[in-house]
């Protein structure tokens, strides 16, 4: 969560400087800066995810050196899951804070003919991002651990695609549907890399433990 906060702080600082140094009356330029800020923030988040992986790898080496049996008490898969959850929960917390701040007013959503589903769709988007960050953490760490750089690249591309789809709003179908399809694909992929199988899934669904 701390690493995600640092990445957000740096990307926000750069976007703030860019906006203040540009012409606020130029709408096309401001939109371009917004797109740049979002894409840069995504890349910075993934860069900090990589830095966090390197830090955890050093921590595991230290735990192995101190343990009596030469094994780490925590696996890299567990750390990947926890790191993904931390990124996702902090991302969701900030999204909800912004929504609650907008909900305080002034004004009423949809009063000028806009969609009245802003808060509902934003909640669904926050939820999918929390899950995606969890799955992305597993995929990203697996790619780093086994030097499969195409898995890391796939995570970055998916993150850029989901963030870029939000520019389709207020056409919420254009952002929610692709995001949930990517979430399903990322979930299946992460489940497979974590050692899951169709047999285990069937046993879970049938409550056969």
pLDDT value at residue 101? 78
183 burial type by CB count under 10 A (0-12 exposed, 13-18 middle, 19+ buried): buried
Query: Among candidates 87, 89, 57, which has minimal Cα distance to 75?
Result: 57
Count of CB atoms situated within 10 Å of the CB of 39 = 15
Q: What is the pLDDT of residues 8-42, one digit of tens each?
A: 899 889 888 888 888 777 788 888 888 888 899 99
Q: Give, in order, the Cα–Cα distances in Å from 203 to each of 35, 78, 105, 118, 196.
A: 45, 22, 49, 39, 11
Q: How many structural domains compose the chain?
A: 1
Count of CB atoms situated within 10 Å of the CB of 149 = 10
Structure tokens at 200: 């285990």
- What mean pLDDT do residues 108-120 have? 72
Phi, psi of 89 (to 5 degrees): -65, -40
Q: With 70 as the cut, is the pLDDT of residue 110 above it? A: no
What residue numbers bound the domain in which 3 lies?
1-206
Residues 75, 78, 81, 86, Cα dihedral to 10°: -100
């Amino acid at each position: 969560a701390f690493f995600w906060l640092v990445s957000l702080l740096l990307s926000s600082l750069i976007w703030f400087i860019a906006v203040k140094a540009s012409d606020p009356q130029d709408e096309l330029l401001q939109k371009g800066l917004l797109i740049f800020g979002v894409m840069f923030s995504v890349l910075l988040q993934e860069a900090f995810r990589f830095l966090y992986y390197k830090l955890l790898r050093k921590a595991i080496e230290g735990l192995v050196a101190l343990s009596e049996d030469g094994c780490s008490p925590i696996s890299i898969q567990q750390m990947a899951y926890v790191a993904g959850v931390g990124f996702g929960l902090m991302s969701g917390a900030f999204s909800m804070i912004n929504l609650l701040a907008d909900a305080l007013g002034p004004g009423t959503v949809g009063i000028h003919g806009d969609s009245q589903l802003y808060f509902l769709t934003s909640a669904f988007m926050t939820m999918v991002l929390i899950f995606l960050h969890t799955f992305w953490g597993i995929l990203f760490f697996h790619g780093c651990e086994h030097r499969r750089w195409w898995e890391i690249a796939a995570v970055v591309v998916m993150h850029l695609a989901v963030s870029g789809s939000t520019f389709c709003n207020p056409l919420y179908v254009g952002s929610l549907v692709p995001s949930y399809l990517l979430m399903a694909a990322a979930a299946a992929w992460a489940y497979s890399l974590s050692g899951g199988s169709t047999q285990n899934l069937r046993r879970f669904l049938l409550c056969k433990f």
